[in-house]
Structure 1
Amino acid sequence: MANRGYDVVVDVDQEGDLGHTDLQEDNLEFHSSNFSNPSARNKIQPDTSSFLPGPASNRSSQKHYLWTLSFYAQAFDVDTSEVLRRCQAALFPRVNFLDVLEGNPDLYGPVWIATTVVVILFLTGTISQYLAHNGKEHFAYDFKLLSGGAGLVYGYTAIVPVGLWAVLKWWAVESASLLEVACLYGYANLIWIPVALISWSNIGILNFIFVTLGFAASAFFLLRNLYPILSATDHKTSKILLIVVVALHAGFSIAIKVLFFASGSPLAKDKTGDGVVGGGEGDGKEGERLVRMLFGL
């Protein structure tokens, strides 16, 4: 039994084929396994020669420094449809605006909104002055309205968010970044576009009502979205910050009303103080009128 062998029969056709198999024309390739090295599994080397940014999930984890272009580029990473969606959410607030941003705040919308508000304030303020002029003398455009509007709108939209963010950093509140706070204030200015379009008349009470409605709508938008952020501080501090936010926004609204939609705007007054663009009568009583105007006589 120990010397007993076994015979193997192999069917070979005329062309040398070793017979039909289930693999047919498929080829089998054997590679060495790397299962013994766990660090080598599922490891893909990136293409370092590409200048394109990585996926959004990778970009969100990267650090952006203030002196790099990537810090400013991330604030403009939106398209027109997204900006319009955010404008709609600002005009008709149904959910928290920070949820609408989805972790991607932008400055593209706030910059264009502020610029549009400045231009419309200049145009409607000029129309309001023209109606108040009553054709007494030759009317001339006063570009102080444009420079004053730019300083007011851009200054408020930039300085107040930075100050508020600095206070939150002082209290170690990390619930909102600087870009998110600036984006929130930028989209809050959207309500002033329709307000400016309808406040060009010379009827003071109507202008007052329109500006009041604009203040109420924009203040509600700010308070609704800032309250969850400010409430991260202690109760007393959050109340003080909310009062400061409302007071600053009320001052901004009053400045718009007085400087652009009031007869004889201070921005349009000439050196004689008569409130008429193009000069006064030159009757030698300019000083007396100026004193009366300053002291309310």
Structure 2
Amino acid sequence: MASPNDLQFQEFDEAADLLSADPEATTLSVSVTSTRAGGEDVKLDLTDEEEGLPESLCYSSKNLLGGQKSQGGFWTFEYYESLFNVDTVQVLDRVKGSVLPLPGRNFIKHYLRSNPDLYGPFWICVTLVFSVAISGNLSMFLTQMGNPAFHYRPQFHRVTIAAVIIFMYAWLVPVALWGFLTWRQSADRQVKGYSFLETVCVYGYSLFIYIPTSILWIIPFEWLRWMLILVAMVISGSVLVLTFWPAVRDEAKLIAVATVVAILLLHTLLAVGCKVSGSQ
């Protein structure tokens, strides 16, 4: 049985001497005391200057400690996997930011932090499609309930109409806006634009407020439905304006105002289209 004196990490003194002799050393050295006969020391040196090894097998200590990982091209699965690499806390934080717009708070800078995702926007759009279709059917049923001449038939075409409107808006409008900002950035280097994924991410999360709004459409009061739509338009539109105004405010006044007006106009058309498709 081993005595307490044998259970010692004797290599620590040697490591301390090496570090004090050369603090700038980057070689990772591991010294292991062998328990075999003879008490030989086995040293494993991991260094980039190791001769005879292919470059793909050489890793510097900086890369190992930094946890860096390579990202493949857009044709690889790893590329698209990174776009859905978010946790629940991040998604909830971005959802909260989309329903609580504050003056001076840019959604991209305060919530995305150069890590845009497609997970939240995709599921928000899918959920909104079904909430608009289901609430439209329930609203029609509750409105006509008690009418003996009314025979309820589910309107499955509502799903198709809502899907076309929502997904076209969530993808085509960001593409157009991103293209415009990129063009202005190439014409004027002082204009700071956003990436395509950041633009799509902002538009996707801005649609979240319409999910609870569409659920409340089952209330059989038309004036209340339009009031809810107006509130949702103001909240989500504020998120878009607060996010994209810094990217165009240094432009000519006419161009900056026209850009903001176009963003709000298209957003209004989406809200009205969802309301009409849900009440047909």
TM-score w.r.t. length of structure 1: 0.67
SS in 1 for 2:209: helix
Higher share of residues assigned strand: 2
Match of 2:85 in 1: 77
Match of 2:6 in 1: none
Task: Report the CA distance shift for 1:115/1:245 in structure 2 as closer, same or farther (over 3 A).
Answer: same
Which of residues 158, 169, 184 in structure 2 aligns to 1:171? 184
Structure 1 residue 202 displacement after superposition: 3.0
Matches of 2:236 and 2:14 in 1, distance apart?
A: 71
Which of residues 95, 100, 108 in structure 2 aligns to 1:92? 100
Which of residues 140, 145, 163 in structure 2 aligns to 1:129? 140
For residues 75-109 of structure 1, what are the alpha-carbon distances to aligned partners after superposition, in whole Å with 9 as ceiling and x for unaligned?
A: 11111121111111211234321121111011111
For residues 154-177 of structure 1, what are the alpha-carbon distances to aligned partners after superposition, in whole Å with 9 as ceiling and x for unaligned?
A: 111111101110111111254311
SS in 2 for 1:175: coil
Q: Summarize the alignment of residues 34-73 of structure 1 with structure 2, pairs less than 5 Å apart.
A: 42=26, 44-45=47-48, 48=57, 58=68, 65-73=73-81
Counterpart AA for 1:96: N
Cα RMSD over matched residues? 3.1
Determine whether 1:149 maps to 2:162: yes
Q: Unaligned 5+ residue runs, structure 1? A: 1-25, 266-297
Q: Summarize the alignment of residues 93-108 of structure 1 with structure 2, pairs less than 5 Å apart.
A: 93-94=101-102, 95-98=105-108, 99-108=110-119
Match of 2:227 in 1: 209
Which of residues 201, 211, 215 in structure 2 aligns to 1:197? 215
Matches of 1:161 and 1:171 in 2, distance apart?
A: 15
Task: Report the CA distance shift for 1:69/1:54 in structure 2 as closer, same or farther (over 3 A).
Answer: farther
Is the contact made by 2:101 and 2:235 (CA closer than 8 Å) also made in structure 1?
no
Aligned pairs, how many? 227
Matches of 2:66 and 2:118 in 1, distance apart?
A: 18
Q: Summarize the alignment of residues 128-277 of structure 1 with structure 2, pairs less than 5 Å apart.
A: 128-133=139-144, 134-172=147-185, 173-261=191-279, 265=280
Structure 1 residue 64 displacement after superposition: 6.0
For residues 113-158 of structure 1, what are the alpha-carbon distances to aligned partners after superposition, in whole Å with 9 as ceiling and x for unaligned?
A: 1111111111100011223433423211111001111111111111
Which of residues 99, 122, 128 in structure 2 aligns to 1:117? 128
Matches of 1:27 and 1:190 in 2, distance apart?
A: 60
Match of 1:278 in 2: none
Matches of 1:27 and 1:253 in 2, distance apart?
A: 71
Counterpart AA for 1:84: L
SS in 2 for 1:147: helix
Higher share of residues assigned helix: 2
My pick for the range that moved more, 202-211 or 177-186, is 202-211
Counterpart AA for 1:160: V
Matches of 2:148 and 2:57 in 1, distance apart?
A: 70
SS in 1 for 2:193: coil
Matches of 1:233 and 1:149 in 2, distance apart?
A: 35
Structure 1 residue 65 displacement after superposition: 4.0
Matches of 1:65 and 1:213 in 2, distance apart?
A: 42
SS in 1 for 2:251: coil
Task: Report the CA distance shift for 1:72/1:176 in structure 2 as closer, same or farther (over 3 A).
Answer: same
Task: Report the CA distance shift for 1:57/1:169 in structure 2 as closer, same or farther (over 3 A).
Answer: farther
Matches of 1:55 and 1:153 in 2, distance apart?
A: 44
Structure 1 residue 188 displacement after superposition: 0.3
Matches of 2:73 and 2:101 in 1, distance apart?
A: 32
SS in 2 for 1:103: coil
Task: Report the CA distance shift for 1:79/1:207 in structure 2 as closer, same or farther (over 3 A).
Answer: same
